[in-house]
Structure 1
Amino acid sequence: MVVQSAQLMALKTASIDLHQAVASETKRTPKFRTPLNRLDETLSKIDSILHETSRLSKVLDRPKHDIETFVNHLESGKKSVSECSTIKIWFVNEKLAHENKLIHLDHELLRFFHDELQDDTSTGIRRTQTDIHAFGRKMDRVLSSITKQPSGLSSSGSVPELPEFIVGFDFHLKELKRVLLKDANQVVSVSAPGGCGKTTLAKMLCHDNEIKGIFGDNIVYVTVSRTTSLKTIVQKILTHHFRVNDCEFETDEEAKNQLKNVLSQMGSEKILLVLDDVWCESQSIIQDLKFPIPGYKILVTSRFLFPSLGSTYELGLLNDEDARTLLNHSAFTCDANQINVPDDLIIKMVKSCKGFPLALTVVVASLRGQDELTWRTTLNKWSEGQTIFHSNSQLLLSLQVSVDALESLPIARECFLDLGSFPEDEKIAASAFVDIWAELYNLDMEGMYTIEYLLELSSRNLLNLKISRSDASEIEGYGNEHYVTQHDLLRELAIHLSSQEPIPQRKRLFIEIHANITPTWWIEYNQQPISARLLSVTTDETFSCNWNDLNAPKVEVLILNPRGKNYTLPHFIKKMNRLKALNITSYGIYPSELHELTFISFLSNLKSIRLEHVSLSSSIQSICELKNLQKLSFIICKIGNAFVDFSFMPPNLKELEFDGCYDLKQVPASICNLAYLRKLTITNCHELEALPKGLGSLSNLEILRVHSCTRLVKLPESIGDLCNLVFLDISDCLSINSLPDQIGELKGLRVLKMSGCHRLEELPASVTNLSLLEDVICDEETSYLWRYYESDLSDVKIGVVEDDRLANFKKIVG
C-alpha cells in the first residue's frame, strides 16, 4: 500500500504539473494553441480518473515499472510544453517539429489510460494519428522545398513546370503531338470540361523532348483569363518572352501588327504559342493571333469548342485503372499506420469521380487519413444528390464535399472562401492574406497561422502554395516570395459557396466589372446597405473609374484589383467607417497610377494598407493622417515623387515594408520618428544606396530586414542604438564592404542573416560583445570571418547556406 501511495502521489504531481504548464503556455504563446488545447482536454479527462477510486485502482494495479515510466514521460512532457514559447516563430520546420512532439505526447497520454477512457481513447488516438500524419506531410513539404528549385511560372511567357505526379496522359500526349505536327491547320485546340487536365496536357507537350527539339526556346506560354484583351496578351508575349520594353498600344490592331512584325523577323525558326484556358468570349483573339508565318503554330486549351479556327483534340476522362492509380496517390501515403479502406469503397469512389483528375485529387485528398466511416459517409452524401459529373456545374457541386470536410476547421473553410477575392489565373502573394485574415479571423499579424492555413488548404489540393526561396524554412517575413495559385474551378466554387444568401446579407461580396458594365444588382442595391465584411472589386484595363454609389458600412476588408494604367479610388470608401485592411493590387502589365488617394484619410479605423504594383507618382501624405494605421506595405511599387516633402509618417505604425520598389533611392528620414515601429523590411530595392542616419532612434525596432538591396553600401552608425533589435537580415547586400563598430552594441540581437555579402572582408571586433546572439546564417565564405571569433562566441550557431543567387545580381551591380 505504501508503494501504491507513493506511485499515486508521483502520478498526481506529475499530471498536475503538466496541466499547469499547459495552461501557462496556452496563455503565453498562441503559436501552439491547437495542440495545447487538445492536451488540456486530455489532461482534464485524466484528472477525473485520478479522483475516481474505481477507475484509479485499475491504473495502480499496473506494474510498478510501467507507472514509473509514465511519470517520467509526464515530466519530459512538461519540459516540451514549457519550451513552446522559446521556439522561434520564423523557423517553420522547427515549429512543426515541436507541434508534432506535442501531438505525440497527447497520443501517449491517451494510450496509457486506454482502458479507463475506453471509447474516448480510441477516438482520440485516431485523431492524433491523423494529426501526426498531417503534420508529417506539412514538414515534408516545407523541408523538401528547401532543396527544390522554385517551381511555377517565372514569367508570363515561360512554360510552367509539370505536376509532381501524372497518370493516364501518355496516349493523349502522343495523339496531341501527332495532330499538332502533322495537321495542316495552324490552330489546334484541346477541349474538355474543367478539371479534366487540359493544362497538364499542354504543359507535358511543352516539356516533351521532341517538341523542344522542333521549337527550341520559341515556346511561348500565356494563361488567358476571362477578361484578358488582345493588347494584354501581346504585351505579355513581347515583354516577358521577347524582352521588348515599353510596348504600350493604343489599339488592338496596333498590338496585333507589332507582334506580327516581331514573329516575322524570326526567319525560318519555328514558333509555338500556347494559349491556356481560353474562354468563348476570346475566340476573336485567337483569330487575331493567326499570322501567315511558316512554322508558326498555336495551341489552345479551352472548355469550349472552336471548330471554325482549326483542329480540335477532345481530351477524354481517365479510365478506371488510371483513375484508381491517381486516387491511391491522392488519398493514401506510404505510412505503415495508414488506415485500410475496403476495396469496395475505393471502387465506388473511382466510379463516382468518373475519371475527372481534379475530382480525384481534390475530393479524395480530403479523405486522406480518414477512417472507413468517413469514406462511406462521403459516398452517401453523393448518393443523395448527383453522382455523375455530366457538366461542370455538377463537378462544382461535387467538389463542395472537399470544403464540407473542413467542418472541423471552420476558419480554414472561411479562408478558402476568401480566395474568390482575387482574379482568376493570377499568382497571389502569401503575405497578401496576412492582413486580411488578421482582421477577419483574429489571426496573428506575424503570418505563422496564415501560412499554416495555406499549408492545410494546399494539403487538400484546394490551392497550390509555392515556396520560392531556397531558405524556405523561414516562411514568415518573406511571404511576398511565396505565392498561391488556384484552379479556376475551385475559385468558382469559393464564389458559388459565398453567394448563397441574398446580396445584402452576404458576408463577402465579389464584384467584377468588365469595361464599364456593372452588375445589374448594383443599381438596385446602391442605397440599401449591404452586410459584407469583405468586399472585393475587380476591374479590367478598359474600366474608366465611373463608380456607382455603394452603401457598405460594415466592410472591414477591402480588396481592389485594377488592371488599367490609371485607377481612381471609389468614392464610396469614404463611408466605410469600419474598414481595417485595404489591399490594392494591380494585375496589369504596368503599374496602375492611383488617383484620389485623399479618400484614404477618411478611414480612421484603418490598421493596414498593402499597395502592390501601383504607381505613387502623386503624394501619399493623406496616409500619414491615419493615427490607427499599424502596417504599411509597398510591394513592387513605382515610388516616383511620392515621398517628396514626406515630413512625417503615421505615428502609430508598427510595421513598414518596401519590397521590389525598383526606383526607391532613399527611405524617408521621417521613419526615424516612428516610436512604435517593430518591423522594418526593405527587400529587393536595388536602387537604395543608404539608410537614414537616424535609424538608431527606432528604440522599439525588433526586426530589421535589408535584404537584396544590392547598391546599399553600409549600415548607419546609429544602428547600435537599436536596443530591442532581435533579428537583422542584410543578406545579398552585395555592396556592403564593412559593418560599423557599433554593431556590437546590439545587446538583444539573437539572429543575424548575412549570406551573399561578398565584399565584406572582415568583421569588427565588437561582434564579440553580442552576448545574446544565437544564430548566424551566412555563406561559406563569410563563415570563415566568424570562425576567427569562435572562441569568444562559443554559444553562437553558425549556419552555412548555399549561395546560388549571386548570379542574379551581377548585372545589377555592374
Structure 2
Amino acid sequence: MLEKDPKTTQVDLNYNKNFLMVLLILDDVDNLEQLEFLAGGHSWFGPGSRIIITSRDQHCLNVHGVDASYKVEALNYKASIQLLCQHAFKQNIPQSDYVDLSNHVVNYVKGLPLALEVLGSFLFGKSVPEWENALQKLKENPNIKVQNVLKISFDGLDKKEQEIFLDIVCCFKGWNKNDVTRLVKHAEIGIRVLSDKCLITLCGNTITMHDLVEEMGREIVRHKHPEEPGKWSRLWDPKDISLVLRKKMGTKAVEAIFLDMCTSREISFTTEAFKRMGRLRLFKIYWSCGFLNYMGKRCQKLLLSEDFEFPSDYLRYLHWEGYSLKSLPSNFDGENLIELNLQHSNIEHLWQGKKYLEELKILNLSGSQQLNEIPHLSNMPNLEQLDVEGCRSLDNVDSSIGFLKKLTLLNLGRCQKIRSLPSTIQNLVSLKSLYIDETVIEKLPSSIYHLTSLQLLSINECKNLRSLSSSICRLKYLEKLYLSDISNFETFPEIMEVMECLKALDLSGTCIKELPSSIEFLKQLVDLRLVNCENLRSLPSSICRLKYLQELDLSYCSNFETFPEIMEVMECLESLHLNGTCIKELPSSIEFLKHLAYLWLVKCENLRSLPSSICRLKYLEQLDLSDCSNFETFPEIMEDMECLKWLDLSGTCIKELPSSIEFLKHLADLQLVKCENLRSLPSSIYRLKYLEKLNLSGCSNLETFPEIMEDMECLKWLDLSGTCIKELTSSIEFLKHLADLQLVKCENLRSLPSSIYRLKYLEKLNLSGCSNLETFPEIMEDMECLKWLDLSGTCIKELPSSIEFLKHLASLR
C-alpha cells in the first residue's frame, strides 16, 4: 500500500491524530522515506500510543529520531534448542538419538532464529544418517534460503561498502577497527554503515560478525566462478590458494591472499604463479599457531628461488612471516604500501638502492636476526611505527631516523649490538613509545630528553646502564618508565621538577640503595615497583605524599628493614607487597593507608607481630602472613573489619587466635596450614557467619575442634588433615552446608560422631591414613549428596549395613 500511494497513508494517520491511541508495528523498515510517511512524528498519534519499528539499519532509526532503540541479541542455548526442536521434532526437546546432532546445529547457527527455523523444518522427519549428511553439506555449502535473507542487507550497500564488507569477511574478521581503517580506503565510514546495518558488530574496537554472515559474504565471492578460485577477488582457504598457485590459475581478479601456514600443506611459490595477479592489494602469509611454536619447534620457512618476484604495484598490505630471501625482489614497487611486516625473516637489507615509500606507515622487521641495516628512512616520511625488536645483527640506527616527524613507536628492544642512539632522535616530535630493552646502551643521549611527546620509555635489562640524568623530568608527558633488571643501575636521579603525567615506575631488579626524597614530585604516580631490589633498605618519608599511588611492590627486597611512618593519609593506596623483606614490624601509622585492600607479608621471617591499629584498615580484603616463621601473635581486633575476606597465617608460629576474631565478620577464607604451635581455636570461631573455607591441615599439635554453638551456614570446606584431634564434636552437624571434610592422617582419631549423617550437603569425606579409626558410624538418615568416601589406611573391621543410605556414593576406597 505504501509503495502505491504513501501520501494517502499519511493523510489517514493525520486525520485520526487527535482521537486514536494506537499500537503501530512497522516491520523491516529499510529507508527513511517509509518512516516519514508512516510515522512522521509524535504529533501524529494520540496520547499513550506505541510505535514499534524493526529495521536492519540503525542509522535510519537514528536520523528519524526514535525515542529508544534495542539491539535484538542472538538466542541463548536454551531458546535455540527449543526453537530448533519445535520445527524438527514438533516438541521442545530433541529426541534421544538426536541430542548431539541438535547441539551441532545450534552451535553452527549461533542463535540466529531464521536459520533455526529453516534448518529445523528441513531436517523434520529425517533419519540420523540424513542429519549427519546434511550437517556435513552445510559446512561446505550454506543453506540457500538463509543466505538469501542475509544477503538483503548486503544488496542494500553501495559498491564501496560492499567491497569493504567482503574485505572484512575474507581477511579482517577479529581485527581492530583502526588497523582496517588504515589499510582499506574509505573504511572508516564503511565500517560505521556495516555496523548500523548489523552486518558486523564492534566489540570495543574489535570487528566481529555472525558465522552465517561470514559464510554469506564468502559465498558472494565464490558465486560467479564456484569452481575457479583463480577468478575470485579474495583467497583465504589454504586448499584454494594451493590449487591456484600449483595450477597457475591466478588472474587479475585476485586482490587479496591471506594464507595460514598452520593449516596448509607445502605450497610452491613461483614468479609464474603470481604473474597475472597484477591487482593484488592485500597479501598475508602467517602462522596462526605462532611462527616460533608451530609443531613445537621453529617453523620451516617457505623456500623461494633467488629470482622470485610477485606483483607489488597495488600492494597496500604485505605481511610475510618467515620470508626466506635476503631482500625483497628487485621489481618490488611499494608505492602504495601502507604496512610492511616481515617478522622472523631472513632479510639482511630490505632492497637494493633507494625506494620512495610515501604511504608507508608501519614497518615491522622484528625477529629478523640477519638484518644488518635499516634503509634510509627519509624516503618514508609518513612512517608511524618502526619495530626491529630482536634484530640481533643490527648494530646502529641510521641518523636519517630524524626525518620521521610522524613516528609514534620505535622498538629497538633486544637489538643486542646497539650501543648508542643517534642525536637526530631528538627530532622525533611525535614519538610516544620508545623501547630499548636489552641493548648495550651505557648512557641515554641528552637528545632523548627532547622527546616532548614521549609517553612510554622502556629500558629493561640494559646491563651497562648505571644511571639516568636528572633531565628525565623534562619528559613532561611521560606516563610509564620501565627500568627493571638493570643490575648495575645504582642511582635514581633527583626529580627537579614536577612530572605530572608519570603513572608507572618500575625499578625492580636494580641495585639502588635508596629513592630520593624528591620522589614526591611524581605527583600522579599510581604504580611503583621495586621488586627484588636487594640493596634497598628503606623508603623516604616523603613517599606518603604520593597521593595517587595505588600499588607499591617491595617484594623480595631482602635487606629492606623499615617501612616509613605514614605521616599523611594515603587514600588511593590499595595494594602493598612486602613479601620476603626483613621488616620486623609495621608502624602503627599503617592505619593512614585508609583504602588499603591487599596487604602481602609472605616470608617476612623477622616479623613477630602486627600493630593493633591494623583493625582500622576498614577496606582491607586480603591479608597474607604465610611463612612468617617468627610471627607469634595475631592482634586483638578491636573494631569490625567488614571487608576482610581472606586471611592466611599458614606457616607462622602462633599458638592461638584471639577470641576477637569474630569481628572479622565477612571472613570467607581462613588458612592456618602448618601452624605447628596452634593447639586450639577460640569458641567464637562459629560467629564467622560468612566463612566458606577453613584449612588447618598440618597443625600437628591441634588437639580439639571447638563446639559449634550456632549454624555456620556458609562453611563448605574444612581440612583437619595431619592434626592430632581425637574426636569431632557432635555439634559438627551445625556445619549445615559443609561439602568437603578432609581428615587425612589424623592418627589419633578413633571415631566420628553419630551426628555426621546430618551433614546433608556433604559430598566428599576423606579419612585416609587415620590409622587408629576403628569404627564408621551408623548412617541413620539418607546422605544424598555424599559421592566420595575414602577410608584407605584405617583400621576399621567392617562397614555398617546402613552404608546403603549413602545412595549417591560414586567412589568408595
TM-score range, shorter chain: 0.3 to 0.5
Instruction: With the length of structure 1 as denominator, give the TM-score of the two structures.
Output: 0.42
Query: More helix per residue: 1 or 2?
Result: 1
Computing the radius of gyration from Cα coordinates, the structure with the larger value is: 2
